[in-house]
Copies of this chain bind each other. A is one copy, B any other.
Amino acid sequence: VKLQFWFEFASTYSYPAVMRIGKIAAARRVEIEWRPFLLGPLFHAQQGMKDSPFNVVPVKGSYVWRDVERICQKYDLPFRRPGKFPQNGLMAARITLSLPQEERPNFVKAVYQASFVHDRDISDPHILHAAARRAGLDPLEVLSAMRSEPIKDQLREETAKAADLGIFGAPSFVTRDGELFWGNDRLEDALDWTVRGTLRPNTQN
């Protein structure tokens, strides 16, 4: 069975989800569809926001950075608060879309690590080049996607599709029967629903 995994490269909570999803999906025999999209246009269209809500509402931002730090400790993931937030993930999203599904996870992880571990500018082609190499891809072939017109269109369509699915944040998970789950903290629930069509009864505390 399949689960759609929608992520945005600028999204903080997408980072732990990106790093965690492969292993726990495999343990449940769920196949993940990696689907990059752009959250900026959705924030603007749905909420009139021109910046991350973590910047717009400072008290929420302070909380979120501490929360993400704790979450990364919990899951043993290195994390450094980026100097600039949010980053521009447009090029990374285009490159990801140009890759077949099986090549996406390693590239996506490498980009998130550049961003949230090494505080690199992920709109910089040199950083994306290095991420492609680290993912075992041919960087020159991969980087051409940054300027490809069909890929640009495809990313716009994917972002529109995300909106159609009711997505308003990242990471988001959509099951085959149309259930939407939002947030790294819903990853296990989304997988449970995918496998069993319900959250009961094995997930209770």
Contacts and interface: CB of A to CB of B under 8 A. Distances in A.
Interface of A: 20, 24, 46-47, 57, 59-60, 62-63, 66-67, 70-71, 73-76, 166, 168, 179-183, 185-186, 188-189, 193, 198-200, 203-205
A166 B62 contact: yes
Contact of A180 (B63, B180, B193, B203): B63
A189 to B, nearest CB: 7
A24 B73 contact: no
Contact of A47 (B57, B166, B181): B57
A204 B74 contact: yes
Interface of A is mostly: helix
Nearest to A191: B205
A60 B200 contact: no
Nearest to A60: B168
Interface centre among A47, A59, A188 (most CB of B within 10 A): A59
A185 B187 CA distance: 12
Nearest to A193: B70
B59 A168 contact: yes
A202 B10 CA distance: 30
Contact of A200 (B66, B73, B183): B73
B59 A46 contact: yes
Contacts of A200: 73-74, 76
A102 to B, nearest CB: 24
Contacts of A62: 166
A67 B185 contact: no
